[in-house]
Amino acid sequence: MNDNTLLTKQNLSIFFIWLFHVSGIMGIIYSDASWFIGATPVNLMLSFFLLLINTKLDKKTLLMIMGCFIVGMVAEIVGVRYGFLFGEYTYGSVLGVQLMEVPLLIGVNWCILVFITGSIAQFFTDSFWIKSLVGVGLMLSLDLVMEPIAPVLDFWTFAEGVASFHNYVGWSLVALPLQMGFHQWNIKVEGAYPFHLYILQFLFFTILLIKINSIGI
């Protein structure tokens, strides 16, 4: 096999997200946890950039990216300010620059989540509604493992200490129209990158959740 066939855009993207996520897990557990947690914005932006270069970029895709960012930011700002969409919570400083108390990276994260879960859902079915609902379900599954560890990493903290059922209802209400838009416009991300990024994010938060009582962050 020609070595050049291994050095594809997709393979390099998958290699780098595995490298960064595994390094982050090992660093938080066994090394300087605060440094690796502080590097979260770099990891998130790298994941987003690699997602973009593995996505067929056209007018509809760019509009979808903008839509995910704007809808996600507006929903989070409303949530932080008024507490009725996701519950009462506040963001920490780790995720960087904020707009109206919400990190701009949260809007980026909404883009990432919609695109990778929507792409995975496309793999299993051609049904518009099933794809949309599967995408929402995948987003909620990831949020379930994110929520317990988020306060420890200073991502965000709920006033009650834990996310309530209210949070997941709010997520569903915001995620569903975004998933519908993704599938209505038939957005395409090339290859297996979305699967790898989803699995890595799920593993990242799950492993840290398992270790939370022993790593002393």
The per-residue pLDDT for range 156-211, each reduced to its tens digit, is 999 888 888 889 999 999 999 999 999 999 999 989 999 999 999 999 999 888 87
The verdict on residue 100 lying in a domain is yes
Least confident of 19-23, 50-54, 122-126, 213-217: 213-217
pLDDT for position 215: 47
pLDDT for position 133: 97
From residue 128, give the alpha-carbon distance in Å to each of 116, 124, 135, 194, 196: 16, 11, 11, 19, 23
pTM: 0.93
The CA angle 32-209-46, to the nearest 5 degrees, is 60
The verdict on residue 216 lying in a domain is no
The verdict on residue 54 lying in a domain is yes
CA quadruple 196, 71, 209, 47: dihedral sign: positive
Which residues sit opposite 90 in a β-bridge?
Answer: 157
pLDDT surpassing 70 at residue 213? no
Its domain, for residue 48, covers 3-211
Task: In whole angstroms, give the CA distance from residue 182 to residue 188.
Answer: 9
pLDDT for position 1: 47
Q: Percent of the chain scored above 90 by pLDDT?
A: 70
The verdict on residue 91 lying in a domain is yes
What mean pLDDT, rounded, does the chain reach? 91
The verdict on residue 90 lying in a domain is yes
Domains in the chain, number: 1
pLDDT for position 163: 84
